[in-house]
Structure 1
Amino acid sequence: MAAQYSLLLRGGRVLLPEGEKVVDIAVEGEKIAAIGEELTGTAAREIDAKGKVIFPGTFDAHVHFNDPGRREWETIATGTAALAAGGGTAFVDMPLNSNPCTLHAKELNDKIAIAEKDSVTDFAFWGGLTPQNLDSLEELAEGGCMGFKSFACYSGIPEFEGIDDYTALKGMEKIKKLGLPLMVHCESPLLVQKLGEEMQAEGKEDVWAYFHAHARITELESVQRMISIAEETGVQLIIAHVSLAESLDIIRAAKLRGVDVTAETIGQYLILTDEEVAAIGTAAKCSPPVRDAANQLQMWARLMKGDIDFVDSDHSPSDPSLKEGVSFVKAWGGIASVEHTLTGLLTHGYHARRIPLSLIAKLTSENAARTLHVPNKGKIAVGYDADFAIVDLDETWTLTKESIHYLHPVSPYMGTTFKGQVKETILRGESIQQNGKVAMGGRGKLVRPERVVK
């Protein structure tokens, strides 16, 4: 008797963990039931995927959806609609810029309740590590947080204080025992402050003054220092949004010494240059800043070498008024980009630089899920969640205000032509986006990590 499934995807170029193959995928309920050539059986729905590439749904481990408290910036509903439009099926939300920040179990539970009602995709949350909540890490872990996030500098939000070295040491000791990772934003607060004061004394507040205040050494010093503390404590450390090839060299050397450290980068450090940021303006302001063209080339080289573990969006929108009519130095430092991570890598990686599709799949999904110890997510394999992004590799399209799904149509990529379009996004066997139309609300489930206590 022929097998009956809930969904069959026929004849697509499927990005499996072992490489690309033209195969069928059978789904039963929420899980992948079978993978093979010309599978027999029928299904309630069949998708002809011939000529399309099937990626695992992207797993974005670094977003700021600002819900609750700053819903005028972005909400979980609008943020996840944009994520789904770009082929995303899961996210991990940062403990800021929501208000209150996620520093205790109550704030975590409040965010989970909102996501259960509004999230288009599956979801998870980082807990915060600050000097104020060292005694709350256990309750956050028990509540199901994915791990912890801290800033080795000013976070941009007064209520989320950066960590000093003592907090870093004691926090890492506790987090190690909890069996969860710590992600750190690495910039030296004293160097950023003093370099910024130099520019202020000269009356400079333009983009180049901002770049001066966030000079390369501010990241390199902080990365080295956080790795030293992680090496001492044995914690699993993730260096957030690495912007410099030299930082990746430091991380690689630490890995070779046996330090449990991984490197995340963000699309803008691969796609943009400092000169392009200067031309775009405040819509492209982020921290750490985008670097020069020579560094961008080296970032791509390190990506091919395997020194970048995963690529996220660091989607960090704001009310547009925080970026309009102010100097570059005073503008909000965040980029709206969650919808365009995969298509950006297809355009600038696969098409422009022949980066293998299999590597892009690992960078946008598999590696993040593995690093965060998330079971049954991140790759196309039997028994895993049926999460897919079905892509037309050759379709070109231009980003316009009308096509964007964010709460506010602001993006450094506005007017950019991309090559590679996500035609459909499937979450646990159910379509959540087709041809830019998103099925809103309430489909997502909480994703919990496996805690690794050694």
Structure 2
Amino acid sequence: MFDMLIKNGTVVFPDKVQTTNIGIKNGKITAIGDEFVSGANRIIDASGQYVFPGMIDVHVHFSDPGRDYWEGFRTGSQMMAAGGVTTFFDMPLNGIPSTINKEALYLKSDRGQAESYTDFALWGGLVPGNEADLAELAEEGVIGFKAFLSTTGNKEFENVDDVTLLNGMKIIAGLNKVLALHSESGPITDWLAARKIEAGQVSADDYLETRPIAAEAEAVQRALYYAEVTGCPLHFVHISSYEAIEKIEAAKKKGMNVTVETCPHYLLFNHDALSEFGPVAKCAPPLRKQEEQEKLIKLLIEQKFDMISSDHSPCTSDLKDSAVYNIFQAWGGISGGQFSFLSMLELALKYEIPFEQIAKITALNPAERFGLKAKGRIAEGYDADFVLVSTDESYTVREENFFAKNKISLYIGHTFPCKINSTINRGKLIFNDGGIQADGPEGEWIKPIQQIEIKS
């Protein structure tokens, strides 16, 4: 007797797509095959639907505690569930306090365990002055560490100087953890922005010119040199340029322990969106011009990105108000964690990318890179984490079907050629037919077992 039986779904495995049945017991996948068609407390007929492993989004910003009026674990996790995400990794900044020591980690984990509808992991931070806290954070279960190479604008979480970066990398390497880096050159971006602002040049084009591809490429190359010296595993977040990927690919070929993500907004949108819609499309690195966007799509097709993440970065409406703020004063971040998986399906359908490849970059690779032993694939013994989708229906984003706390997103008005019908986390139906189905938050704080290198 199963707790749940998913019948007749077109299941996306790591190496094939096959119509079959999945039996679930105690939150785990216990049987896969055609020989059983009944005998469950709950039966879901997935005929005509694809069954993917639930997405693992390794890069979100829920500002809980302290700024949960931007986004908290409750609304954020519901939004994730609506987008087919069954595990998210919350970044260490934007909340108050930032997650840079053990006490702050447990303030955040307590909030997550009380409020999250899906499973989650927590990043720790590397900032000037907290090198002595890194070992304790690792021992307590952070998924890895995050640092900025460019100015953050956040006094709670400052960017690292070169000495802090080298010291931190050496410590993190010894802890067998991964360092995630926001890689833009602070000296380049700060210098260019100061010149523009002094001249009163504050348009969308001006903002793009202050964060050039050269700033990203320089920071990536510098980090790779430092990693070579220290032996630190690296994960590059939200990479937005072909030139940066060239440097990362060269490092991988040398045998370095490096992975890279990009975000759906760099693939679906370009700089024209910032010019047209204003601050709602502002992020860092910025949306690139169409020519660079096309290069990034080609890199996606060629499997040069190890994973996809949302970099969901919400705020309140006053921080995105184009009538009040020039582009440099507006908050930089795209709110769109609900739409990452749909975005990848849109790209897969448009460019004929195999669904197995989409499952790999949204679930399998994140799970393997960050040591989530029971997640990331549909196989017996793994957590029963699924997203059921239809490619025969479209889905238009509106404020009323966007589950984030603040309904401000570049994606509003966008129509996807596919639709998420259900999301299941450890055998529990948490999203179905357009609404949250779970009785309450039952997400678990997931801690890594062993972090490994993704083989290209």
TM-score (norm 2): 0.97
Which of the residues 140, 143, 146 maps onto 2:140?
143
| Letter of the structure 2 residue corresponding to residue 168 of structure 1 | L
Q: How does 1:94-133 map to 2 (within 5 A)?
A: 94-133=91-130
Provide Cα deviations, 1:86-143, integer angstroms capped at 9, x if missing partner.
1111111000110110000011111111111100000110000011211100111111
Counterpart in the other structure of 1:56: 53
- Offset of 1:452 from its aligned partner? 5.0
Counterpart in the other structure of 2:443: 444
Provide Cα deviations, 1:266-301, integer angstroms capped at 9, x if missing partner.
111111011122112111110000111111111111
| Letter of the structure 1 residue corresponding to residue 340 of structure 2 | T
| Letter of the structure 1 residue corresponding to residue 169 of structure 2 | M
Q: Distance in 1 between matches of 2:162 and 2:240?
A: 22
Provide Cα deviations, 1:181-239, integer angstroms capped at 9, x if missing partner.
11000000000011112212321111111101101111000000001111111111001
Q: Conserved in 2, the CA contact under 8 Å of 1:53 and 1:392?
A: yes
Q: Distance in 2 between matches of 1:214 and 1:440?
A: 45
Structure 1, 36-45 or 70-79: larger mean CA deviation? 36-45
Counterpart in the other structure of 1:373: 371
Q: Distance in 2 between matches of 1:305 and 1:344?
A: 17
Q: How does 1:123-272 map to 2 (within 5 A)?
A: 123-272=120-269
- Offset of 1:453 from its aligned partner? 9.6
Counterpart in the other structure of 2:348: 350
- Offset of 1:245 from its aligned partner? 1.3
Q: Distance in 1 between matches of 2:38 and 2:429?
A: 21
Structure 1, 353-362 or 258-267: larger mean CA deviation? 353-362
Structure 1, 15-24 or 91-100: larger mean CA deviation? 15-24
Q: Conserved in 2, the CA contact under 8 Å of 1:178 and 1:451?
A: no
Provide Cα deviations, 1:361-408, integer angstroms capped at 9, x if missing partner.
111111111111111111111100000000011211211111110001
Q: How does 1:289-368 map to 2 (within 5 A)?
A: 289-324=286-321, 325-347=324-346, 349-368=347-366
Count of aligned residue pairs for this structure pair: 450
RMSD: 1.3
Q: Conserved in 1, the CA contact under 8 Å of 2:21 and 2:37?
A: no
Q: Conserved in 2, the CA contact under 8 Å of 1:209 and 1:329?
A: no
Q: Distance in 2 between matches of 1:110 and 1:253?
A: 40
Seq. identity, %: 38
Q: Distance in 2 between matches of 1:274 and 1:155?
A: 22
Counterpart in the other structure of 1:397: 395
Q: Distance in 2 between matches of 1:410 and 1:200?
A: 26
TM superposition outliers: structure 1 runs of 4+ over 6 Å: none
| Letter of the structure 2 residue corresponding to residue 397 of structure 1 | Y
* 2:34 corresponds to 1:37: yes
Q: Conserved in 1, the CA contact under 8 Å of 2:135 and 2:175?
A: yes
Q: Conserved in 2, the CA contact under 8 Å of 1:13 and 1:20?
A: yes
- Offset of 1:441 from its aligned partner? 3.6
Which of the residues 85, 90, 97 maps onto 1:93?
90
Provide Cα deviations, 1:60-86, integer angstroms capped at 9, x if missing partner.
100001000001111110000000001
TM-score (norm 1): 0.97
Provide Cα deviations, 1:295-337, integer angstroms capped at 9, x if missing partner.
1111111112121000000000011111112111110001100
Structure 1: segments with no counterpart, 5+ residues: none
Q: Distance in 1 between matches of 2:384 and 2:153?
A: 38
